[in-house]
Amino acid sequence: MTKEYDLVILGGGTGGYTAAVRASQLGLTVAVVENDKLGGTCLHRGCIPSKALLKSAEKFRELKEATDFGVQATEVTFDFNQAQKRKETVVQSLFTGVQGLMKKHHIDVFQGFGRILGPSIFSPMPGTISIDHGEESENTMIVPKYVLIATGSRPRELPDMACDGEYVLHTDQALHLEELPDSLTIVGGGVIGIEWASMMVDLGVDVTVLEFQEEILPTEDKEVIKEVKKQLTKRGATIVTGAKIMPETRKIENNQISVQYEKDGEIVTLISDIILTSIGREANIDDIGLANTKAETDSGFLVTNDVHQTKENHIYAIGDCIGGMQLAHVASKEGETAVEHMANADPEPWEDVQVPSCIYSYPEIAHVGLTEEEAKREGYELQIGKMSFQANGKAFVEGDTTGFVKVITNKQTSDILGVHIVGPKATELISEAGLAAFLDASGWEIGETIHAHPTLSETMKEAALAVKELNIHG
């Protein structure tokens, strides 16, 4: 006997389970179909485990630099196995929490691979879900009014450099390293590549980043990129931009791997213990039954409208499988928007420029809105305020005055167009800018808001005041 639901969600990652909870709050009956573990990539292979390891690396770096604080630590060593154990403990604790959320909100979870069927005896419309539990069990059929595809993504691999899990790794595999390499080549200088470079440099690994484009972190402001490169290079990383990997040049000798790249017409051979590829992600939409629907794809990602409907109005899609910003918090917001639309709850419209973007390297990086270059291309006349953490008392107390806050405003209206932070606690400080973007605030409004002293957030206030040259410090 088939079971009917208001909503069936394919994928129990951050976007999927958030959408499930929101749908339950709105009174819908909900089922989640998950082929692996609830929590998805973010919890098990991405955000959480990588940040747990980054935190271990941060603690190691800080302890080695603790002399100025009066801490005399001798023979400081790093136990990578213990760091991995802590990472797994963090993941398991959060996994248990997600499982609890499903029970609390009376959401049924089906373990298996879900496929969308076309019109059949179960339903005159495409959307019945057939759940494959493996060879030893018969498929389960469930019939929803709505389907939400939240199947996520997987690491993209280079055509000529397949990830073997030993010498060439993608980031999922790297999270399970049993020991640190002496040297590491990272192919790709985007967000994930730079986070891994920062982590490994802090742990004493010889790191080289090869980036095909002319600059790392292409979505960040140029001044931020300059500061990040300066700090990574200062700590020992080598960053090569405009580097083209030569096809079929990979060689393995003496338990090391070599690869050749071209830079300014010169061929360079680079030897390291491991190559980590970080060149983007591709959607997990193979074999989920899209051919049985009207849903369309573009460049390998599902196409949706502003409330995340596909061309099949009762089938929605969110998260990495639709491309876009590919951030866990974006997937969550997309999921909420989609189920609120299903439930006629009139979801609040939002735009990408309101979304905070964070990089958990050292120094931390975060931004909301447009870069200076993007704002100029869109024709705005700008007023910019900038404040260094060297003018902030709490930064001195913390022992980290690296970086700055940059506030970009529309000169005609004083509206904030973008806020960029590089420095201590940037990923926490950016939420104030996110709220300002949501409320369409001006720089003056941030500047007039009383900020506690001493706090790092005062740098945000001073940068906003600096737009009109009204800052007190700096």
Alpha-carbon gap, residue 461 to 383, rounded angstroms: 15
Q: What angle do CA 249, 251, 256 make, to 5 degrees?
A: 135
Neighbours of 97 (CB within 10 A): 12
Contacts of 358 (CB under 8 A, 6+ apart): 364, 365, 366, 426, 427, 430
| Widest pairwise Cα distance in the chain | 74
Contacts of 354 (CB under 8 A, 6+ apart): 368, 369, 434, 437, 438
Two structure tokens written together for 339: 């189920």
Tokens 């096809």 map to which residue?
247
Phi, psi of 53 (to 5 degrees): -70, -40
Contacts of 445 (CB under 8 A, 6+ apart): 436
- Would the CA dihedral through 438, 444, 448, 451 be positive or negative? positive
**Peptide bond between residue 363 and the one before it cis (omega within 30 degrees of 0):** yes
445 class by beta-carbon count within 10 Å (0-12 exposed, 13-18 middle, 19+ buried): middle
Q: Mark out the alpha helices in 65-169 (DSSP H runs).
A: 80-104
Buried b (16+ CB within 10 A) or exposed e, 31-66: bbbbbebbbbbbbbbbbbbbbbbbbbbbebbeeeee
Contacts of 82 (CB under 8 A, 6+ apart): none
Annotation marks residue 453 as catalytic: yes
Return the amino acid letter for 63: L
Q: Which of 105, 106, 133, 453 is catalytic?
A: 453
- Closest by CA to 246, choosing from 264, 260, 265, is 260
Strand partners, 406: 386, 420
Positions annotated as catalytic residues are: 453
